[in-house]
Amino acid sequence: MRIVSVGECMVELSRASEGLWREAFAGDTFNTAWYLRASLPKGQIDYLTCLGRDPVSEDMLRFMQGAGIGTKAITRHPTRVPGLYMINLQNGERSFTYWRERSAARALAADPEHLEASFAEADLIYFSGITLAILTPNRRAVLLEALANAPGLVAFDSNMRPRLWSSQAEMCEWIQRGAAVADIALPSFDDEAQYFDDASVQDTARRYHEAGVAEVLVKNGGEAMLALDAKGDEQELTFGARLQPVDTTGAGDSFNGAYLAARMQGLDVPEAAQAGHRMASRVIMHQGALIPLQQL
Ligand SMILES: O=C(O)C(=O)C[C@H](O)[C@H](O)COP(=O)(O)O
């Protein structure tokens, strides 16, 4: 089993105490690779991005290798360096401040042949709306074409970050184009309601289905989720009361990692959603996106 996750990993700063910040490495698709790694001990989990040749890039590469995440699909940019973000918390809800406009990861789709070769033997490829947001329109199209031609399954989380796009219309257009190459979609209802005006989880699931996605699981911030399968059957899924979070960073990404690992091992959608929910419930009680692997 080989899974490739595609996107940007950054330096993550979360507050340790007044005036003191804790450094870690994270980024939505990397977080999902991390929780795939934790959930699929026998699988090969590769991360595809572009890093620089600076000391921070070297640290990040060693960190990934130390976690058992494959780095052979990572290219290196001669002058650019990794992006950085800070987590701002208000009652446990996260928001982010970014320094990533010229990060090396923006060059991840510079070489179509590299994408094709990296995807050729993957059973599953995972990407997100953030992966698309950091690319120029030409390179977005290159990535989407490589994904459309990939022999394995493709999974997508829209992960909408309007600040990374020039307009909401541009964001929504590319999210729909991302959905069109995906077999599995894992959107979050709050974002979809806000930017696509969906009135219900059913609206969200059906819109993805109409875009061509066979399996849709609409996450709903601890409320009832909705699963829509290839036959068009809908199922509401609820897993216990909503917890008071310490830091929600990485909740959706960790859900996706555990969900996809369960699906790739043959579990059905409700079982996989339960695994995703269990993982996300732990992540929101932890500061930052990643729980150390030895604690998982
Ligand atoms: O915003 C970005 O570009 C990042 O990659 C930073 C964060 O690590 C993820 O966004 C967390 O994602 P959630 O699971 O939605 O909390």
Is 247 catalytic? The answer is no
Question: What is the layout of strands, in order, in the sheet containing 10-17?
Answer: 20-26, 10-17, 84-90, 93-99
Give the C-alpha distances (Å, rounded to integers) separating 79 from 12, 50, 133, 147. Answer: 21, 11, 21, 27
Mean per-residue pLDDT, 144-150: 98
Task: Check pocket membership of 186 for ligand 1, CB cut-off 6 A.
Answer: no
Determine if ligand 1 sits within 6 Å of the CB of residue 83: no
The pTM score is 0.96
In ligand 1, which atom is closest to the CA atom of 27? Answer: 5
**Average pLDDT score, the chain:** 96
Which overall architecture, per CATH, does domain 2-291 show? Answer: 3-Layer(aba) Sandwich (3.40)
pLDDT band at 241 (very low <50, low <70, confident <90, very high): confident
**What is the CA(209)–ligand 1 centre distance, in A?**
25
**What integer pLDDT is reported at residue 243 of this predicted model?**
81
Report the sign of the C-alpha dihedral through residues 131, 133, 136, 139, in that order. Answer: positive
Q: Cα angle at 115 between 110 and 117, to 5 degrees? A: 135
Residue 242: pLDDT band (50, 70, 90) is confident
Interface pTM, i.e. ipTM? 0.92
Domain ranges of the chain: 2-291
